[in-house]
Amino acid sequence: MSNIEKKVCDKIIKRSKVGKKKYGTTMDRKDLTKLQWLKHAQEEAMDLAVYLEKIIQELENMPFSYEWNITTQDNGEHNRKMLDLEITNLKKEKED
């Protein structure tokens, strides 16, 4: 298991404990129908869509972004060209 997968598992366990404390039950509960479970899942998915839209709008409204990676020991010309290329590509993406 990778560190990323372990982190996700740890978060699931933590979330499960929060849910048990908040609702007094676990996912083993038998009081909901399949339709009720589906409606709960749909509500969670809609919340996720709202969160994603929020982040998408924030990223689209940024004037520009860039990553600066030093890949050579030269005078920086190589890095400058890479940065210019990244900014150009971001501008094109925004126009599309």
Given a cut of 60, whether residue 72 has pLDDT beyond it is no
- Region 4-11: mean pLDDT is 96
For residue 51, give the 3-state DSSP assignment. helix
Higher pLDDT, 91 or 37: 37
Residue with more model confidence, 55 or 62 = 55
Q: What angle do CA 76, 77, 79 make, to 5 degrees?
A: 65
Reading the block at residue 29, the tokens are 């509960």
Q: What is the C-alpha separation between 56 and 66, in angstroms, rounded?
A: 16
**In sequence order, what DSSP letters do the residues of 65-82 get, joined into one string?**
--------SSSSHHHHHH
Distance from C-alpha of 85 to C-alpha of 89, rounded to nearest angstrom: 6
